[in-house]
Amino acid sequence: MIHAHAAGELVKPPAAKVSSGGKPYALLIIKAGSVADSQIVTGLVFGELAQAALSLEQGDSLSITGSAKLGVYDRGGEPTPSITVFVSKLLSGKPEPRTKRQATRSASQGRSLTPAQSNAPNASYAAGGPIPPGGGLAEMENDLP
């Protein structure tokens, strides 16, 4: 098989399917390429990655990679190439949903840097440390070359 990469947007919402062997998967129909020269790519996503694929929506941009199978089908009497990618990796611009535990952990850890984590002048002020009288301008001027 050929290893392929395709990037584009979903033509329609992903569909949940079940293989003849009883394995659930997601079916993606992607329009890849430019407006004038686009190609429809079918993506088959199995396993845990299928659940992530099913959260996507029509029009979402994504990139897939995996083993590809090339074929030809008859489209109104005209042979048309087909590409099916058995997706091993999927990348989309949609963020992963956060669990309640992740949200609580992020909030408790905070986002500001401690002075030890930053080598910026006056890092203690940026990290929420006490601001000296005069707003720290005198100390900042001492840091200038």
* CATH number for the domain that contains residue 53: 2.40.50.140
Q: Tell me what the mean pLDDT of segment 53-67 comes to.
A: 94
* Residue 58: inside a domain: yes
Beta bridge partners of 82: 71
Spell out the residues 6+ positions from residue 63 whose beta carbon is closer than 8 angstroms to its own.
5, 6, 7, 90, 91, 92
Q: Lowest-confidence range among 26-30, 91-95, 139-143?
A: 139-143
* Residue 123: inside a domain: no
d(CA 102, CA 4): 34
> Is 125 strand, coil or helix?
helix
d(CA 145, CA 25): 61
* Residue 136: inside a domain: no
d(CA 33, CA 38): 4
Domains contained in the chain, number: 1
d(CA 135, CA 137): 6
> Is 63 strand, coil or helix?
strand
* Cut 0.75: pTM above it: no
* Residue 110: inside a domain: no
Q: Lowest-confidence range among 44-48, 103-107, 120-124, 135-139?
A: 120-124
* Residue 43: inside a domain: yes
* Residue 120: inside a domain: no
Q: Tokens 């002048």 sit at which residue? A: 121
Q: Would the pLDDT of 34 be above 70?
A: yes
Q: Lowest-confidence range among 67-71, 73-77, 111-115, 140-144?
A: 111-115
Backbone angles phi, psi at 121, to 5 degrees: -60, 145
- The pLDDT score that the predictor gives to residue 114 is 43
- The pLDDT score that the predictor gives to residue 14 is 96
Judged on CB neighbours under 10 Å (0-12, 13-18, 19+), 105 is exposed
Q: Tell me what the mean pLDDT of segment 110-135 comes to.
A: 46
* Residue 140: inside a domain: no
Q: Would the pLDDT of 35 be above 80?
A: no
Q: Would the pLDDT of 109 be above 80?
A: no
In tens, the pLDDT along 71-82 reads 998 888 989 889
Q: Tell me what the mean pLDDT of segment 29-48 comes to.
A: 90
* Residue 64: inside a domain: yes
Amino acid at 68: A
Residues 115 and 129 sit within 8 Å (Cβ to Cβ): yes
- Structural domain boundaries, residue 38: 2-92
Report the percentage of the chain scoring pLDDT > 70: 64
